[in-house]
Amino acid sequence: MEKPDFDKSINSYAEAYNITQDSETYQYISSTYGKRWDTLAKEADTNSDNKVTLDEWLSYQDKLLNNSKSDFFWLKIASMFIDIQD
């Protein structure tokens, strides 16, 4: 997983819901998803190659699930999309 993968997801979602790039909704999605990539890259990319491999992803998810103080950042992403769809 890399930053362009997140950008592709943002653009695909925007296209599916006819959200223009100059809209507040698009900016909200882009900002929220962008912050999540930044967090994921910082926390999961253990070899600092700007990619998160499957092993890095699984290790990071294991840490999240076993940390009672985790922010469960994917839950925040899901909540963002639900807010937009409402």
Q: Note the pLDDT tens digit of each residue in 4-52.
A: 999 999 999 899 999 999 999 999 989 988 888 998 999 999 999 999 9
Question: Is pTM beyond 0.75 here?
Answer: no
Nearest to 79 by CA among 33, 44, 17: 33
Q: How far apart are CA 46 and CA 16, in angstroms?
A: 33
Q: How far apart are CA 13 and CA 84, in angstroms?
A: 11
- Residue 68: CB atoms within 10 A of its CB come to 5
Phi, psi of 81 (to 5 degrees): -65, -35
